[in-house]
Structure 1
Amino acid sequence: MTYCLALKLNAGMVFASDSRTNAGVDHIAMFKKMRTFINRGDRTIVILSSGNLSITQNAINLLEQQGRHPENRNIWNVESMFDVAQLLGECLRSVRQHDGAFLAQSNVDASANFIVGGQIRGEPMRLCLVYAEGNFIEAGEETPFFQIGETKYGKPILDRVIKPDTPLDEAIKCVLVSFDSTMRSNLSVGLPIDLACYSESHFDLNLVQHITDDDPYFSQISRRWSEGLRGVFASLPSPDWLSEPLPRDFPL
């Protein structure tokens, strides 16, 4: 399992992914799940992946391979992020069609998902979620973020905080809290975290950060968020329909 997250805001975009692909008592594997394609001044594209690792790696490698042939339609010459999402979906379908039947013989799940976002000169920033079947949807005003992988634990803070006009620095804090909440509840998501930030019409990444378990800022965010939650919880009033406090051993 994994956790990847991308935000599309008025000021720019934030992308983040963990690095854990398998977890257990004696087996933890780490692989990078963020891939960037940058031609400064023309396009900045970020792809996050979750699902079967061989499927996602081969789909990205096929996309890169196509880019080495400029005479063909590829990630470096298409004119919109819609085209990029379409290309990625086609690569995913091709790999699943080639490998899916063989994986199924061993009961291996061949599904995979991608988040692809960025900006190509001549159009605004765009963010898409590519499903396992190769089709995709695009983020809008009402849905300024996408998640893939282990999404449920990190979503509540995003729903409460993230709006299109959220500043990038606030968005980064929210993303890290979302990851901390997910890691506390699910062993299959873990550090390091790859984080990238993009400002509107900059056509390059403003920030690329590799967050490890000894990162002082992430440790501070994790500690203060936990302390803050406990403090707020303790300050909540008891139900006003209780005439007197319940005994500690009250049977529920």
Structure 2
Amino acid sequence: MKDLTQRAPNPTKKNENDLTDFQKRVADEYLVDGKAGPAYRRAGGKAKDPYRSGCEIVGNPKVDAYIRERQAEIAHRLEIDAETVVRRWWEIATADVNELVQHRRCACRYCYGDDHRYQWVDEEEWQEACRQSEAAGTPRKAPSNDGGYGYLRSADPHPDCPKCDGEGDAIVFVADTRRLGPQARALYAGLKTTKDGMEIKTQDQAKALENVAKHLGMLDAKLNLGIKEDDSLTALVKAIATGGKREEQSLLPNED
């Protein structure tokens, strides 16, 4: 038998934040990903244009105040402040992508061989090549070892090599991501295996730098560079850029 004492929630009833139950649900969903349309749909909204309806709710001053209050509570629990966020963006924006992946010009097989002949890593590699020649369906001459042994792929190209003209071989090197430094780790966003091989994914460095600039008030509506010298976060970025020496000049060029 249905319990008549239990009533369905009233979507228009105001709660302690002076929001309706539905407004609060939308706001709570918005805190998940910061997207008004999906938040409206997840909260149970039925409007034909969820994006517009969601933006109207999120843009309501009381809803906006509730969202900001919740964000502050979350940041406090996680011990996140503006300095932490800006520093993280700065690490991404200034990270050296060469710590993750490198395009190298390395010695070819003839660079350091005797008289610039083909050089093997060791005798075992040469003997394996000989066995493969013997086992081939079409007989072929065993490879020579006149160039000697000791090939090191990571060596720089020999400038006088007649085979590669001192340019070596092009090699793509991917770092061991377990041993990345703090900045490279912040930049690294994972990898994806495709039909063409591995694809290293990184955070958007230009976007990170733009976020820093926006938070410091360096970008006005016309996208002209400007700076607020009394902004504490501006002083933070100066300190980061100069290794903690806040008295040194900022990253912005002088207009003199």
Work out which of the two has the higher radius of gyration on C-alpha atoms and give 1 or 2. 2
**Alignment TM-score, normalising by the size of structure 1:** 0.23
Structure with greater contact order relative to length (CA < 8 Å, sep ≥ 6): 1
